[in-house]
Amino acid sequence: MTPSSSPTSGLTRRQLLALSAAGIAGSLLVAQHPAAASAAARSVFAKPGSGAAAELAGFSTPEAATAPRFRWWWPNGEVELAEIAAEVKQAADNGFRGLEIANVHHSVDGALLDVENHGWGSPHWVAAVETALEAGEKHGVEIDMTLGPSWPAAIPGITPQDPSALVELAHGSVDLVAGQRFSGALPEPGVAPSAGVEGRTLVRVQAFRILSRPARNGIMLQHSSLVDLTDRVQGERLDWTAPAGAAGEEWTILAFWQRGTGQKPEAGPHTSPESYVVDHFSLSGADAIERYWESTTLTPRVRELLAKTGGTFFEDSLEVETHSTIWAREAATEFRTRIGYDLEPYLAGIVEVKEKYVYQFADVNAMRVRDDYNQVLSDLYSEYHLIPLRDWAHGFGLQYRVQAYGLEQDSLQQASIVDIPETESLGAKNLDDYRVLASGRDIGGRTILSCEAAAYLGKAYAVTWNEVLNTLGETFVGGVNQTVLHGFSYKIAPGAGWPGFAAFTPYGGGKSVGYSESWGPRMPVWNHLHSAADYLSRTQWVLRQGVPQYDIAFYRQKGWAQTGIGAPWATASGIPTGWTHGFLNEAGLFQERSELVDGVFAPEGGAYRAFVIDPDRFRGNEPTMSLRAAKRLRELAGAGFPIVFYGNWDKPESTGLRDAQTNAEVARIVAEIKALPTTRMAAGDADVPVALEALGVRPRVTYTTSHLKHMHRVDGDIDYYYLANVKHNFAKDKLVEIDQTVELMVTNPRHVPYLLDAWSGSVARLAAYEQNGDRATVRVRLVPGQSMVVAFGPEGWAGAPAPKTWIASTDVEGAEVGPKGELIVHSTKTGMVEVPLAGGRIRKVQIHELPKPVEIGRWDVVVSDWKPSGEGVETAKIEHRLSLDSLVPWSQIPEITDASGIGDYRAEFTLDHGWNPGKPGAMLSLGTVRDTFTVWINDQVVAERDFLDTKIDVSDYVQVGRNTIRVEVATPLNNRMRTVNPAVYGQMGKQEYGLMGPVTITPFGKGRVA
C-alpha cells in the first residue's frame, strides 16, 4: 500500500515519553616507608581550600555526591562477605564514593565458577549485596546495582520461548525461474536457531521478482511484483508457480519466521538455571525483570538499605546480538500505529544476516523503510523498557542510569528520558560522541551525564594517570560530569593469579592482555589517588553548576550515539578556535525546555544561538527532515532565530517513507525558511563561519587555533569555565603545552575572574586580565592533559581577598593577589618592569637581581619492588637501596630494571642568602616523572600540585641554607607483569618509570604593584 502522509500517533507521541512519570531531580599520602603511605598527608588533601565561602562548599570540600565512582566487578557470588566490606572501605578511604556492583569475569574459565551455589542472584550473592550496602551506609559510599547478570539485561528462570524473552525475525528463501512450480515445505531460515531455541511462528510468506544480484547492498527486488502467499500456506507447506516471463527471469519465495534469539548475557556462566536476555521492546520484558528482582533479590533488608545508600539501577549498552533481524512480537501492529503504513509488504527490505541487509528494492527506497522500522524499535525500547524501569526504580528511592545506545536508536532523546544517561570513553571516537548524549540530557532537563571511563584495550596494568586524566578531561569538555572508572575488581576469583582477579585480563582465553584496569590496593599508585579523587570531585562539582552554554546546535535526522560522525566544520575547525556545539533532532524541538527566549533557543537546555541544519550524514547526505520538524523550524526562523542550511538543500524530502504530498510540503516549508533574512546557506565547511558571522552569531569563547577545549556553565549570573588541553587519542596525537590568551564572555560585566584550583580546593582572584564590556581576556597555560577552572563572580566572592585594582594585561609572566589584597607581579627578568593597571595607569616595579638556579644531582633512593608472594595473590614488597648521581628510568638500572612499585627519592640542596624570604620565589621543576608522585620540602608535604604538572611553586617551603627534598613516585605494574606472566604480558613493551628529572629550583622575582 502507499504510505500515508501522517502517522496515527507517530512522532508526536515520542515527545511525551519523558513526561510519563515524574523524574527524580535530578593526596597523595605521606610514606614513612616507600612500600606504604601513612595517613599523615591524607588530611592535607581533604582540607577545605583557603578562603572558600558557603557558595563553594562543595568545591572546597569534596562531596560524596560529586565524587568519582568505580565499576565493581564480582566473579558472580564467589565472594567473601568480609572482603566485600573491606573493599567498600578501601574505596571510601581514597575518596571514591560510589561502587557499581557488576557481574563481570571475562578472565575466568567458566568451568571453574560454581553457579549452582554462588551464581548471580543466589542467596550468597544477595547476602554479599546486603553486606556491600551496609558497608556503604557506614562509610558514605553509594551502591549501584547492575540490572542483571552482565549485559544486556537478563534473568534466570525463563527460556528463549518465554513471552518475556527477546525475539528475532529469521527468513528463508528459495529461488525459481519464471513459470517454475514450487511444491513443498517452506524454506528454512538461512540462519540456524541459537542453542535452546525451540519452535517458531510464521509471520509472512511472499514472492518477489529478482532484478539483479549486485555485489553490494543486497539482491535487487522489484517491490511492485510482490505476491503475498501467506494464505496459501498449509501446515508449513506451499504450492505455487512463479509467473511466466522471459527466459532467465528469476523469482524468490521468502518465508519470514519469528523465534526466540536465545541470547544470553555477556561472558557467562552467571546463573543456574541459565539466564536469557529479556525482550527490550515489550512490557513483558520489563515486567519479568521487576518480578524477578522483587521475588529474589530485593529482600526487606536490601530494600531498607537501598533507601539509605542505594544510588542507581544501571543498564549497560544495548548490545542485542543476533545473526538474523532484531524483531518485536507486536512489530507490525506497532509500526502501523506509529508510522501510518503497513510493514509487512516491506519485510524483505529490513531483513538482515549477520548485520547486513539482504535485499533492496528497485522501485522503493528500502533505507527509508529501515529508518521507520528502527525508529519504531527505538520508541518501543523507550516506552516499554526505559520508562517502566525508570519509574520502578523510583519506587525504591533509586535513580535509573543507562547506556541507551548500541542499536540504530534515538539515543539523543533517550538521554532525556532516563534519570542519568551514560556514555563511555572506550567506544567514543571523538568529542561529538559525548556531546550527542550531553545534548539530550540538557534539553531534557537532566543534570548528570555519566561516563564509563578510562578503559583501554590491551593496556591492563600499563595505564598511567597521564592517560587517565587526559581521557577524563576530554569527557568533561564533551559534557560528562560523573566519572565511573573502569574499574575495581574483587580481590580474587577461581584460577586467578597475582596480583588478583581482574575482570577483563587476561583476555581471549587467557592468551592476551585485556582491558584496563583493576584499580585498588594491588596497584602501587592506589595510595596516591585520594588527591585525584578530590580533583575529580571538585571538577564534577563545577560541571554540575547551573546550565551549559553552547553556541550552536546541529540539527540531525537521527539521534544515534557512539557513531564517530562529527559536525561539519565545527568538529575539525570550530572547536579549535573556541566554538561549542550540541545536537538536536526532532524530539529536541518539542521538549519542555525547547522555547525561544530573547533570541536564545532553550536557555535552560543548551542556550543555543543558532541552528545548522545538516543533511542526513547517516544516509548519504540526503536533505531530509520530518514535516513536523520543518513546521517547528519555520516557526523559530519566523521569530528571527538564525538558521544555516549546510550542503545541498535544493530537493528536500521528508524523513522515512512518505507520499509525494508530504515530501512536497516539506520542500515548500524548507524553501520558505531559506527565503527568510535570518537564514543563510553554507555549501561547505568554510562557508559555515561566514554564514554565522553574517547572521551576527559569534562564539562565547575565542582563541587562536589550538587543542584547547572548554565547557561553559552559568549558575544565575556566575560563569564557570572549565578549560583543558586535551586530545581524543592521547597516545597517537602528541599534545604540546598551551600558553595563549583566551577571550571569555561574562554574563555580568561587573564580575571579576577567579581561579578555582580543583587539586587543592583553593579559590584565588586573578590578578592579571583584560576586560572589555562583557568580554574578559585571560592567559591560559596548560601542559598536555591539564585543565583549569576560571569563574566570574562579584568582588570578594568566596571569601577571596579583593585587590584595589588589577593588572590590565595578559603579557606579564605571572601575578597574584596577596592575602591582604596586595597585587604582586612575578618575573624572571630583573630590572624595572612596567605594569599596566586598570584605568590606564602604568606602575613601575623593581625586580631585584636573582640567584642562580639550583640543580639537584645526587639522590638516595629506596625502591619497593612489588612482586608475587608465593603462589597466591598477595604481594611481596622487596626493598632496593640505591645512590644515584644522575636520574634515569628504572629500566636502565640493573637492580630494578623489571621492577614496579614505589620509589622514595631523597636529596639535599642549599640556597644561599640571595634566596632570603620575601625576595625571590622558588619554582621546583621535577622534569619527567612516571607515574604519580608527591613531594616534601623540609618534611612538609607540598599540597599545591597536580599529577600532570611537574613544575611546582615551593616558595613557602624552602629556606636559606640546607633544604631536604623527598619525592615519592608510584608506577603501574606492567614491567613486573612482563616477568611474572610472560606468556600474556611479555608482549608489552617495557615502560620507563621513576623520577627522571632533571630536578631544579629556579628563582623568580616578585614585586608589589599595589
Helix (H, G, I), strand (E, B) or coil at 714: strand
Give the position of cell 528520558.
417
DSSP single-letter state for residue 737: -
Q: How far apart are CA 763 and CA 971, in angstroms?
A: 31
* For the chain, domain boundaries: 167-263+324-353, 547-695, 854-1008
**Is-contact 798 52, C-beta < 8 A?**
yes
- Given a cut of 80, whether residue 10 has pLDDT beyond it is no
Cα-based distances in Å from 14 to 382, 435, 588, 881:
9, 21, 10, 67
The CATH topology of domain 854-1008 is Jelly Rolls (2.60.120)
Give the position of cell 630494578.
896
**Is-contact 911 960, C-beta < 8 A?**
yes
Q: What secondary structure, in 3-state letters, does 55-87 show?
A: HHHHHHCCCHHHCCEEEEEECCCCCCHHHHHHH
Q: Average pLDDT of the chain?
A: 93
Q: How far apart are CA 297 and CA 398, in angstroms?
A: 15
Q: Report pLDDT digits (tens) over 658-700.
A: 999 999 999 999 999 999 999 999 999 999 999 999 999 999 9
Q: What secondary structure, in 3-state letters, does 263-280 show?
A: CCCCCCCCCCCCEEEECC
- Given a cut of 90, whether residue 958 has pLDDT beyond it is yes
Identify whether 352 is preceded by a cis peptide bond (ω within 30 of 0). Answer: no
Per-residue model confidence (pLDDT) at position 870: 86
Q: How far apart are CA 280 and CA 409, in angstroms?
A: 13
**Is-contact 251 209, C-beta < 8 A?**
yes
DSSP string spanning 331-399?
A: HHHHHHHHHSS-SGGGHHHH-EETTEE-EEESSS-HHHHHHHHHHHHHHHHIIIIIHHHHHHHHTTT-E
**Is-contact 320 406, C-beta < 8 A?**
yes
**Is-contact 550 578, C-beta < 8 A?**
no
**Is-contact 69 236, C-beta < 8 A?**
no
Per-residue model confidence (pLDDT) at position 917: 62
**Grid cell locating 74:** 564480582
Per-residue model confidence (pLDDT) at position 209: 98
Return the minimum-mean-pLDDT range out of 7-11, 387-391, 475-479.
7-11
Per-residue model confidence (pLDDT) at position 731: 67
Q: At residue 345, what is the residue type? A: P
Q: At residue 506, what is the residue type? A: P
Of 719, 699, 718, which is closest to residue 709 (Cα–Cα)?
A: 699
Query: Which has more confidence, 635 or 848?
Result: 635
Q: Which helix (H) or strand (E) holds 635?
A: helix 627-638
Q: How far apart are CA 905 and CA 908, in angstroms?
A: 11
The mean pLDDT of 839-852, rounded to a whole number, is 92
Confidence of residue 472 (pLDDT cuts 50, 70, 90): very high
Cα-based distances in Å from 463 to 181, 318, 517, 964:
65, 27, 7, 31
Q: Report pLDDT digits (tens) over 331-352.
A: 999 999 999 999 999 999 999 9
**Is-contact 969 931, C-beta < 8 A?**
yes
- Given a cut of 80, whether residue 47 has pLDDT beyond it is no
Confidence of residue 573 (pLDDT cuts 50, 70, 90): very high
**Grid cell locating 194:** 541459537
**Grid cell locating 768:** 592579571
The mean pLDDT of 609-638, rounded to a whole number, is 98
Assign domain 547-695 one CATH number from 3.40.50, 3.30.450, 2.60.40, 2.30.30: 3.40.50
- Given a cut of 60, whether residue 304 has pLDDT beyond it is yes
Decide whether 547-695 matches 854-1008 in CATH topology: no
Query: Which has more confidence, 17 or 578?
Result: 578
**Grid cell locating 57:** 562548599
Q: How many distinct helices (H) and strands (E) make up the chain? A: 21, 53
pTM for this predicted structure: 0.94
Of 408, 417, 434, 404, which is closest to residue 316 (Cα–Cα)?
A: 404
Q: How far apart are CA 515 and CA 583, in angstroms?
A: 31
Confidence of residue 728 (pLDDT cuts 50, 70, 90): confident
Confidence of residue 220 (pLDDT cuts 50, 70, 90): very high
Q: What is the CA radius of gyration of the chain?
A: 31
Q: How far apart are CA 434 and CA 449, in angstroms?
A: 9
Could you give the percent of the chain with pLDDT greater than 70?
Answer: 94
The mean pLDDT of 973-980, rounded to a whole number, is 98
Confidence of residue 491 (pLDDT cuts 50, 70, 90): very high
**Is-contact 440 413, C-beta < 8 A?**
yes
CA angle 558, 413, 259 (to 5 degrees): 75
Q: How far apart are CA 502 and CA 490, in angstroms?
A: 8
DSSP single-letter state for residue 876: E
Of 394, 412, 546, 516, which is closest to residue 454 (Cα–Cα)?
A: 516
Confidence of residue 791 (pLDDT cuts 50, 70, 90): very high
